[in-house]
Amino acid sequence: MRKILICAAIAFAAVSCGTRQSVPVYLDRTKPIEERVADALSRLSTEEKVALLHAQSKFSSAGVPRLGIPEVWCTDGPHGIRPEVLWDDWDQAGWTNDSCTAFPALSCLAATWDRDLSLLYGRYIGEEARYRKKDVLLGPGVNICRTPLNGRNFEYMGEDPFLAGEMVVPYVRGVQENGVAACVKHYAVNNQEVRRTGTSSNVDDRTLYEIYLPAFKAAVTKGGAWAIMGSYNLYNNQFNCHNHRLLDEILKGEWGFDGVVISDWGGARDDDEAAANGLDMEYGTWTNGLSGAPSDSYNSYHLARPYLERLRDGRADMATLDDKASRVLRLIFRTNMASEPHYGRFTCPEHYQAARDIAAAGTVLLKNEGGVLPLDVPQGGKILVVGENAVKKMVVGGGSSNLKTRYEINPLEALQEAFAGKAEVVWERGYVGDIGRSYNRVDTGQDLSESRDAQTLIADAVAAAEGADYIIFIGGLNKSNNQDSEGTDRIQLDMPYGQQAVIEALAQCTDKLVVVNISGSPVAMPWEACAQAIVQGWYGGTESGHALVDVLTGAVNPSGKLPFTIPLRLEDGPLKTERQYPGVQEDGKPYYQEYYDEGVFVGYRWYDTKEIPVQFAFGHGLSYTTFSLSDLKVSGRKVSVRVQNTGSREGAEVVQLYIAPASCEVERPAKELKGFEKVTLKPGESKVVRFTVSDDDLSYFDAPSHKWVAAPGEYGVLIGTASDNIVLQGTLRK
């Protein structure tokens, strides 16, 4: 005991720099954070400050052991807590207690149009991160769906900056309630995976401020995000992880961001720019299993030995170093050393139920001809399920969102469970998509090998259709390369693997064909007329099968709305040239150049303004009940509308407010989303939904003056349930 007391006294003396009279301010969790930061900073050597700024392993950076300041541990999200990986390798470490709750992909969360569910999502994923002792959750992502081919659309929140901004704020707040920093990514104009580390996104200021920055700004100024991740690409020919304009002028200058800027893994590329241009924490630069890297690889990071050398010879200034170190200390005092301890929860029933509820709420009923859904199967009936995605586990793969879960319920299992003892549920594969079973050594345990050819698979599915009361085709995309996956973009808008031929063959066998598309991004549907019902599903996580079947059976009335447009054809969209996507090589420029020539006309802003027909519009989604909108009133800036459930089931409708611009000097979209409310109503019940229209809602960004401008004149107030379904119209004057 005496040895213990002596050691404790020595440790305390070291921590307090020779004084034993009081606890150092930085250790006193009752003190304001800024006092703690200043106190801790004053005690650090230059070498210790620099050590805070770069990785020491694949997912951690060093603390200051002599002062009791802990390491910072990051984890990939944004849909669940990544399994533990090796110290310097992406492969999982083989732990047996790191199987997380997989929450739905963020495209599904966006499709709920439900701020309360976004808060719940963030709160529960934050609890899982804290339980696993993680300080930074690398998510959520809010990059805009500029092209449906972007491989990471499934990780983002759709095509509209207002919707993404409204949904990201509660997510961030929920995560950070747990003493875990939300690291919003990928900042900014990061809208493709092809050549993602070698392409400059060249964007004019108006487009940047109106389309690609608002969700990030909302996360910072309204959500209070504690971390931002820079992206791999360049913006106007400077790498984004140390882009002076994006990080110093806009993020930390205009928005007053006081958190940390974290590089994407390997995203820092230059010693001088990393030292000077807004980067605070650098990860992944030399970490590739140590093979091919120097033995002291972490000391070779741009913010490690090269930074120290610049500080010592005067090429870098101490004030910038102190700012970076202060931001990291602030992060630590907000998380690991917060004023109140947090403990979290992991894989508990509440988390599983939330995953199920969110996945169901995001499921979008696109078409329901003749009320074929919900399923009405007679006793002793038969359901034929066709499609690889009915059985394929989707949590594994896709890049950094790869997860290991305790379980994953697939749609076939959930259908068999729901109809046990009532109807026969038969499965036929129909097509072969991806037979892979592992990613970073996380294994699904599934054997999806197949010996039949495409014609035989279709013939077998058609044969199995005999006597079926319903045929449910469950297909779409997956998380393999050139589908919904980090690192590659899609190569087509249509369903891959010959799925259209399967759907067309099944349509000849029944008048009750339900097609479920599982994807995280838009898929063309030239086969729409073949199906009586079409459902947009998502990567729903642990409870994906249950959530989907909840909607198919009517246990949950669908209320999801598309967070993006589903076009008829890829060529109908705004990206017309190679110069726009995926970029071109130009003489004298070392990187590919991509030009955002379409400007602010992205998604429905393009289709609605140009009056181009689409398959399904932004904001579209049906219900098993019906709703009416009436009694629009516009009084000054106050807008109200009555929504009523006119059907026979309880359900939820999303009332959407769009603003049509007044005449002005610049070309503006025909309409822009500026408000929405999700309202749950019993049959016959009605409620009044109210909006307040601000100057910001009327404004465009005037680049020459660098100001938001609301031109005087008459603005349209448009109320509807999708961008192409405007039910009520009014006006207001500025």
Cis peptide before 188 (omega within 30 of 0): yes
Separation between Cα atoms, residue 213 and residue 103, nearest integer Å: 26
Q: Are 571 and 577 in contact (CB under 8 A)?
A: no
Report the 3 state secondary structure along 648-673. CCCEEEEEEEEEECCCCCCCCCCCEE
Report the 3 state secondary structure along 582-642. CCECCCCCCCEEEECCCCCCCCHHHHHHHCCCEEECCCCCECCCCEEEEEEEEECCEEEEE
The DSSP H or E segment spanning 365 is strand 364-368
Amino acid code (one letter) for 579: R
Strands 234-235 and 199-202, by their bridges, are parallel
Report the catalytic residues: 264
Residue 467: how many CB atoms within 10 A of its CB? 10
Residue 572: how many CB atoms within 10 A of its CB? 17
* Partners of residue 331 on adjacent β-strands: none
Dihedral of CA atoms 283, 288, 292, 294 in degrees, nearest 10, equals 40
In eight-state DSSP terms, residue 71 is P
Region of 346 (left: φ > 0; alpha: ψ -120 to 50; beta: rest) is beta
Q: What is the DSSP string of 190-208?
A: ----TTTTSEEEE--HHHI
Separation between Cα atoms, residue 391 and residue 490, nearest integer Å: 22
Q: Token pair of 647, please?
A: 């059907």
Q: Are 183 and 227 in contact (CB under 8 A)?
A: yes
Q: Which residues contact 555 (CB under 8 A, 6 or more apart)?
A: 549
Separation between Cα atoms, residue 294 and residue 88, nearest integer Å: 13
Closest CA to 531 of 568, 506, 559: 506
Backbone angles phi, psi at 696, to 5 degrees: -60, -35
Q: Token pair of 527, please?
A: 């086969």
Cα-based distances in Å from 225 to 81, 110, 140, 576: 19, 19, 10, 36
Backbone angles phi, psi at 481, to 5 degrees: -55, 145
Q: Are 160 and 604 in contact (CB under 8 A)?
A: yes
Closest CA to 222 of 115, 63, 361: 115
Q: CA angle, 269 as apex, 263 and 272 as ends, to 5°?
A: 100
Separation between Cα atoms, residue 360 and residue 379, nearest integer Å: 26
The DSSP H or E segment spanning 329 is helix 318-334
The DSSP H or E segment spanning 709 is strand 707-709
Q: Are 246 and 209 in contact (CB under 8 A)?
A: no
Q: Three-class SS of residue 25?
A: helix
3-state helix, strand, coil in the chain (%, to 5): 30, 20, 50
Q: Are 503 and 515 in contact (CB under 8 A)?
A: yes
Separation between Cα atoms, residue 41 and residue 471, nearest integer Å: 65
